[in-house]
Amino acid sequence: MALFWDSLVFDGIDEVEVKAFAAGFGTVEVVAKGRAAGAACPDCGRLSDRVHGRCQRRLKDLPLLSRAL
């Protein structure tokens, strides 16, 4: 089922994997993770493969399947 959300929410973005989702009253919650093994620092450009932090974001955009995001 997560494959459905991968293609629906992140169509054309291969770098994102949907780990979990939940549909509630008028909302859809998607937990996603980047697939890349590492990334470059935006300040110095040095490559790193460590997780430096995590964050939770609340998207407010157009509805998805008649539900708010």
Taking the C-alpha atoms of residue 34 and residue 17, their distance in angstroms, rounded to an integer, is 6
Domains contained in the chain, number = 1
pLDDT in the model for residue 64: 66
Domain that residue 48 falls in: 1-69
Helices (H), the chain: 2-9
pTM (2 d.p.): 0.49
Q: Which residue has the tokens 């620092």?
A: 41
Q: Contact, 33 vs 17, CB < 8 A?
A: yes
Q: In this predicted model, what pLDDT tens digit does every residue of 31-67 receive, in sequence order?
A: 878 888 888 888 898 998 887 677 766 666 666 667 6
